[in-house]
Amino acid sequence: MRAVIQRVSEASVTVEGKVVSKINHGLLVLLGIEDADDDSDIQWLAKKISNLRIFNDTNGVMNRSVLDEEGDAIVVSQFTLHALTKKGNRPSYIKASKPEIAIPLYEKFVQSMELELGRNVGTGVFGADMKVDLRNDGPVTIIIDTKNKE
């Protein structure tokens, strides 16, 4: 799994002109899923994101998590995070999982995030043409790949 985590002061997802998710202070998580992903990736990533200390404390040091902040989260599936760009100029998405594999893993990840945070997590609509609006706070953007745990 690959995730792009953005600390936001606000974010929303709109599908066909209707806002399907909206948060204020918290995290926007773009999530890419590949066939090799499993429950261990889900659990590790949900815990890592929930506890990631990327919010400022009273001294202006990034020392607080979204849990500490009681912030919200939106998780949006994004297959393009697994784009292969080595050859030519057209990205290949062969590593990205097909919907029959990706949807159940995406749903399990959202459930895991909800368990970690103790609250509902907003989502996009899997496979839809989504408009994602955000105000990146900082800006703070972190990329995590469960196959390359750094």
Active-site positions read: 78-80
- Whether residue 55 contacts residue 69, with contact meaning beta carbons closer than 8 Å, is answered with yes
**What is the DSSP code string of 106-147?**
HHHHHHHHHHHHTS--EE--TTS-EEEEEEEEEEEEEEEETT
- Whether residue 125 contacts residue 56, with contact meaning beta carbons closer than 8 Å, is answered with no
d(CA 72, CA 28): 9
Strand-pairing partners, residue 143, are 4
The CA-based dihedral angle spanning residues 93, 144, 103, 92, taken in that order and rounded to the nearest 10 degrees: 0
